[in-house]
Amino acid sequence: MPYRIALLIVAVTHLVGTLGLRTPYAGWMILLTPVHLLVSFALLYGQSTPTDRLKVGLFFVYAIGLGIEMIGVNTGFPFGRYVYLEGLGPQIAGTPWLIGLNWALLTLASASFVSDFLADGSRLQRALLASGLMLGLDVLMEPVAQAHRLWMFAGGIAPWQNYVAWFAVAFAAQWVLGPRVTSNRLALPILIAQAAFFAISWLWPVAI
């Protein structure tokens, strides 16, 4: 798919989601979250160079993400006590199977951006920066996740250990993905769109 069309779809879907969640149809919009996640990943992957190394790396990132979330939901380790709500669709052992895809999406987007931004940096430097970007997105997501019907922590607030664990898992995912991911022009737009989507929810609550 041409880059401009992919970029347009990313912009339109995030805009529709942002506005739609402030209407009487917000409950229906929430149910489209899995579709949006699938489309976003497909678009991002479609702009990548699909090497065997990337495919294997993404598979393991998905498995790590889904696995650690299943452990987290059922034990409270390492993120703290939380439960998933209906927003991310069908679940396995209390964990949406799509949450692994969300880890893959954020890992690929941040790794692709950092590969260009820090082209001369070491593998460790790139992994640390990309993990920091993923943590930054989580900081934006956590305060509004319950309103978006994604997940809910005991007490209604994510504990400090969630952020430590998020960075650690993000770093592991970056390392598993490989030493350097090829350039992807859609990576930064997706990161910006995601950040803006959740940041707006801080100021303009969803209508649920």
Residue 167 counted as domain residue: yes
- Over residues 159-203, the pLDDT tens digits come to 999 999 999 999 999 999 988 888 899 999 999 999 999 999 988
| Count of structural domains, the chain | 1
- pLDDT at position 111 over 80: yes
**Mean pLDDT value of segment 17-43:** 93
Provide the pLDDT for residue 69: 98
Is the overall model pTM greater than 0.75, yes or no? yes
Residue 208 counted as domain residue: no
Residue 147 counted as domain residue: yes
Between CA 103 and CA 169 the distance in angstroms is 9
The DSSP call for residue 31 is T
| Residue 166 contacts residue 135 (beta carbons within 8 Å) | yes
- What's the domain range around 120? 3-203
